[in-house]
Amino acid sequence: MTGMSKVRFWQKDSRLVAAAGISAALVLGLWAATAVAVAAPAAWAQSPGYTRFMQDFAPGRGYPAHTGKVVEGLGLGTCLYTVAETEAATVASLNNSYRTVTEISPQSYCVGSGIAGYEGKIHKIYNYVESHTSHAPAYWGGFMLDEEPGFGFSAAQLEALNRYVASLMNPSPGVSWYFTENQPNGWYLATYNAIVEGSWLAPQVYSSSMAGAVNGECGTYGKCMNDVTFDSVGLYPWYSSGYVTGLVTGSAWHVAAWGGRLFCNLWVPV
């Protein structure tokens, strides 16, 4: 498989930043869900487990009730939503002092200029957010990149995009960084690891195979903090956040800048 690279890291606040060759995020961005009491094997349960949710919402729509607000920009370009809509929704959420993340799903058929086109659009959103609100350092978690094998880009191309996003976000003040909402079982483990290097992990867990891949990443490469993405409209028992996170080892995603709150990522269609 392509997409492997060697990296060195230094610590910037709570985020890992590549000194050379950060490999990026890849994701089969799908779905995430509500907490339903369904038993899961206790041996694998996240510890500490989540106490809060992030949830998607479409630009121009109402805010979800959960603590984390994920602005769903989708593919941009010729696909939903526009850069302007995504910018405006992100800034409006931040101006309400909401903990906010901006999700983008890079797709080759949405932006004709490919990865370079996405770099330009992401840079535009970044500049707009940083220049239109004073709340970004405290409340903007940055970007969440939903990079899926079926979206038309190779692992190597997505690594290049994520290196760009890392370099863009690294000097940003405060908490802002980037997540990768990957399909962990869509690649060989070494390729998945190369893709997500340096990012905050928000892997999709919609099957036991996906859970196994997340645990493999933790056991082999020591990346064990996950903002687990689950599918709120999926089939039983995968719509249960308790069941899904009960299959995953390591800890729920958290940063001190957001008060140490422990998050799980609830996907809903928008």
For the stretch 201-223, pLDDT in tens is: 999 999 999 999 999 999 999 99
Beta-bridge mates of residue 71: 57, 102
Q: Is the pLDDT of residue 26 over 70?
A: no
Q: What is the mean pLDDT of residues 98-108?
A: 97
Q: Is the pLDDT of residue 119 over 70?
A: yes
pLDDT band at 136 (very low <50, low <70, confident <90, very high): very high
Q: What is the pLDDT of residue 187?
A: 87
Q: What is the pLDDT of residue 190?
A: 94
pLDDT band at 43 (very low <50, low <70, confident <90, very high): low
Which strands sit side by side in the sheet containing 140-145, from one edge to the other? 229-231, 263-267, 52-57, 68-72, 99-104, 140-145, 177-180, 200-201, 225-226, 251-252
Lowest mean pLDDT among 35-39, 174-178, 239-243: 35-39
Q: Where are the beta strands (DSSP E) in the chain?
A: 8-12, 15-20, 52-57, 68-72, 99-104, 140-145, 177-180, 200-201, 225-226, 229-231, 251-252, 263-267
pLDDT band at 34 (very low <50, low <70, confident <90, very high): very low
Instruction: Read off the DSSP letter of residue 196.
Output: H
What mean pLDDT value characterizes the chain?
87
pLDDT band at 5 (very low <50, low <70, confident <90, very high): very low
SS3 194: helix
Task: Say if residues 36 and 249 touch (Cβ distance below 8 Å).
Answer: no
Question: pTM of the full predicted structure?
Answer: 0.86
Instruction: Read off the DSSP letter of residue 42.
Output: G
Of 6-20, 41-55, 229-243, give the range with the top mean pLDDT: 229-243
Whole-number percent of the chain with pLDDT over 90: 81
Q: Where are the domains of the chain?
A: 8-267
Q: Is the pLDDT of residue 191 over 60?
A: yes
Q: What is the mean pLDDT of residues 32-46?
A: 49
For the stretch 154-169, pLDDT in tens is: 999 999 999 999 999 9
SS3 162: helix
Q: What is the pLDDT of residue 221?
A: 97
Q: Is the pLDDT of residue 246 over 80?
A: yes
Q: What is the pLDDT of residue 33?
A: 30
Q: Is the pLDDT of residue 74 over 90?
A: yes
Q: Is the pLDDT of residue 32 over 90?
A: no
Q: Is the pLDDT of residue 13 over 70?
A: no
d(CA 215, CA 263): 18
